[in-house]
Each structure stands twice: as structure tokens, then as C-alpha cells.
Amino acid sequence: MSETILIIGSEGQVGTDLQYRLREIYGKNNVISSDIRPADPAKLDRGPYEQLDVLDHSRIAELFSKHKPTVIYHLAAMLSATAEQHPKKGWELNMDGTFSIFDACLEHGVKRIFWPSSIAVFGPTTPRVNTPQHCVMDPGTIYGISKLAGERYCEYYFKRYGLDVRSVRYPGLIGWKALPGGGTTDYAVDIFHQALKTKAYTSFLKADAMLPMMYMDDAIKATINITEAPAEQVKLRSSYNIAGCSFDPQTIASAIAKRIDGFTIDYAPDHRQKIAESWPQSIDDTVAREDWGWNPDFDLDKMVDEMLMRLSATASQ
Ligand code: AKB
């Protein structure tokens, strides 16, 4: 099946891995990367790249007319911790950016769009253990509020205009190709880099701040699988719970210490601890498993092995 895929926000943590995988599947020139950053001359051989600010309507129209994408992955967003520092900007980027891209999809006849939600849609009165697909959702961060509003918007556009939107609620994502930026779960990536560099890490979350997490390969698998699933299998047009593995800083630290002699962790919780305390500890993803066959491949040990192996190999290149 020939597709022209446009990734919006391609240079972020998910976009970096996603563009790589989609180019393996669809070929380098059928996947157009775009991000607010100027083109990086060192990366030009990866495939087509366009500079795009999602708040710039005329540039969006220009790129949709030029490339005629059939599938969109709209990843551009401000994450939880940064959005708490800049609530208005966070709301504008997360909401207005989504409005513009959804409208462009309708105007230009795009077949399908993936839009990411997050565990941040849940809040302090949500059940925290095995959080169900449907339950109380009272997010307390501007990021979570924008994601919950976005989910409702996805379902509205599907029902009212027939826009074929697919979405999952990402947990904290852990990958080696790119660093996350501005999230509450970022410690779980940083800890690997510091473990390899200095054998020590200071966590900005408390030792027992348990959160749902996922290895990037699983997140990319979920993202592509739901986007490519037959439409009738995607019964929820808001967003699906997906789960990888849940852990807290002390548990991941001891998994790393088993593999790196002398690794130590200490704790200096900051403003992000409060955000973490308002989020689930673990997620029930039964509905995604039943509807479109979701199934993760990585548990904590497999993920720690893979992260240390990949980052060590990159460092020695
Ligand atoms: C964040 O921490 O803000 C993100 C998320 C869970 O959506 N990683």
C-alpha cells in the first residue's frame, strides 16, 4: 500500500524513533519529517524534512498542498513539567496546534491521523492502581487538561466529520535515540545517561514515586499498530490505555546497580513530584489488547539491558 506520511514534531523523543521505523517500512522518501527546528544539515540524508511551526496556518496549508500526505502523525506538544512553567503557551501549542492540523486533514482529504494522549489525562481522584480505560478523569496539570480536551476533540471530529483519528495514552517513554524534554517521567531516561557517565544519579522524584512507563520500541509498535489497524477494530475514538511496565526510581536504580558496579542514587524531589503523585501508578490496558491486539514486548529487565547496551554502543562509536 503506498502512503505519504507526514510526521509533525519529528525531532522530539517519539518522532526521532518513529521516523526511523516508518522509513524502514515505507521507504525514506515516503516519510516527510517536520518540526519547528531548522533543518539539520547532518541529518539531510535521512529523507525529506520541512521546518514547520504548527501555529502557522499558512505553512501547514502549504505543506499539505505540496506533499499531499495520506497519513499524519501529529506529535508536536509541550510536556507536563514545561507546560506548568508556561501554562498559556502549553495550552496554545497543544490545543491550537491540534485544531489547525485536524482542520487541514479535513480540507486536504487525509486518510488517517495519529494523535498522542498521555496518562496525564488522569488526576488525583482517578483509581491509581490498574487505572481502567473508563473512570474519573480530573487532570490537574495544564498538559493533562489539554490532553483530555484533545481526546474529546478527537472523538468529536471522528463522529461529526468522519476524521479517522487514532490515539493512545502514552506512559513515560524510555528510549536511547533521543532525550525527552520537559516531562515528569524524564528521570527514567536521564538515569541511564548519568549511570554510564558518572555512576551516580540524583532523582527529582521520590524513591517510591511509582509511574507507568514503556520502552520506546513498544511505544512505536503501539503507535504504528493502532494507526494501521482496520478502522472497525478501533472502537474508541478518544484514546486507548496502553501499559508497558510500572516502576519507581528505587526499583530502576537497583536494576541498573545490578549491571553497573558501584552505581548509586540519591533523591532531591522538586515540583515534578507533585505532578507524579497525581498520576496513576499502573494502567489497565485490556481494552487495547482486545480491540486491536496490543501487547508489549519489554519488561523492566529487558528494557534496562537494552538501554545500557544501546547507550554504551553509541558512546563507544
Ligand atoms: C510527561 O512526563 O509529561 C510525559 C507524559 C507521561 O506524557 N512523558
| Per-residue pLDDT tens digits for 171-222 | 999 999 999 889 999 999 999 999 999 999 999 999 999 999 999 999 999 9
The 10 Å Cβ neighbour count of residue 231 is: 12
User: What is the distance between the alpha carbons of residues 20 and 258, in angstroms, rounded to a whole number?
Assistant: 31
User: What is the distance between the alpha carbons of residues 205 and 234, in angstroms, rounded to a whole number?
Assistant: 35
Residues 71 and 159 in one domain: yes
Residues 185 and 118 in one domain: no
Residue 193 structural domain = 173-213+244-284+291-316
Segment 111-150, tens digit of pLDDT = 999 999 999 999 999 999 999 999 999 999 999 999 999 9
**Hey, whose CA ends up nearest to atom 7 of ligand 1?**
118
User: What is the distance between the alpha carbons of residues 105 and 184, in angstroms, rounded to a whole number?
Assistant: 31
The total number of structural domains that make up the chain? 2
At 50, the pLDDT band (50, 70, 90 cuts) reads very high
CA 180 to ligand 1 centroid distance, Å: 9
Compute the average pLDDT of residues 49-69.
98
Q: Does residue 80 line the site of ligand 1, with CB under 6 A?
A: yes
Sheet containing strand 172-174, strands side by side: 172-174, 211-215, 245-247
Residues 16 and 43 in one domain: yes
Q: Which ligand 1 atom sits closest to the C-alpha of 81?
A: 3
For residue 184, CA distances in Å to 74, 86, 94, 228 come to 21, 15, 17, 29
Q: Does residue 90 line the site of ligand 1, with CB under 6 A?
A: no
CA 80 to ligand 1 centroid distance, Å: 6
pLDDT, residue 299, reads 98
Q: Does residue 278 line the site of ligand 1, with CB under 6 A?
A: no
**Hey, whose CA ends up nearest to atom 4 of ligand 1?**
183
Residues 204 and 98 in one domain: no
Compute the average pLDDT of residues 69-73.
98
Residues 42 and 182 in one domain: no
User: What is the distance between the alpha carbons of residues 165 and 227, in angstroms, rounded to a whole number?
Assistant: 8
pLDDT, residue 1, reads 61
Helices and strands in the chain: count of H runs, count of E runs? 12, 14
Residues 227 and 132 in one domain: yes
Segment 305-317, tens digit of pLDDT = 999 999 999 988 7
Q: Does residue 120 line the site of ligand 1, with CB under 6 A?
A: yes
User: Any idea what the CATH number is for the domain that residue 70 is in?
Assistant: 3.40.50.720
Segment 73-103, tens digit of pLDDT = 999 999 999 999 999 999 999 999 999 999 9
pLDDT, residue 317, reads 79
Residues 136 and 274 in one domain: no
User: Any idea what the CATH number is for the domain that residue 259 is in?
Assistant: 3.90.25.10
Residues 160 and 193 in one domain: no
Q: Does residue 117 line the site of ligand 1, with CB under 6 A?
A: no
Residues known to be catalytic:
143
DSSP state of 120: G
Q: Which ligand 1 atom sits closest to the C-alpha of 147?
A: 7
**Hey, whose CA ends up nearest to atom 1 of ligand 1?**
183
CA 281 to ligand 1 centroid distance, Å: 13
Q: Does residue 172 line the site of ligand 1, with CB under 6 A?
A: yes
User: What is the distance between the alpha carbons of residues 260 and 80, in angstroms, rounded to a whole number?
Assistant: 31
Q: Which ligand 1 atom sits closest to the C-alpha of 118?
A: 7
Q: Does residue 118 line the site of ligand 1, with CB under 6 A?
A: yes
At 303, the pLDDT band (50, 70, 90 cuts) reads very high
Residues 91 and 142 in one domain: yes
Residues 127 and 41 in one domain: yes
| Residue 170 predicted with pLDDT over 70 | yes
pLDDT, residue 256, reads 98
The 10 Å Cβ neighbour count of residue 55 is: 15
What b/e readout covers 256-280, taking b as 16+ CB neighbours within 10 angstroms?
beeeeeebebebebeebbebbbbbb
Residues 195 and 61 in one domain: no
Residues 309 and 179 in one domain: yes
Cα of 75 vs its chain's centroid, Å = 7
SS3 content of the chain, % helix, strand, coil (to 5): 45, 15, 35
CB-neighbour burial class of residue 35 (10 A; exposed 0-12, middle 13-18, buried 19+): buried
User: What is the distance between the alpha carbons of residues 146 and 137, in angstroms, rounded to a whole number?
Assistant: 12
Compute the average pLDDT of residues 50-75.
98
What value does the mean pLDDT of the chain take? 97
CA 273 to ligand 1 centroid distance, Å: 13
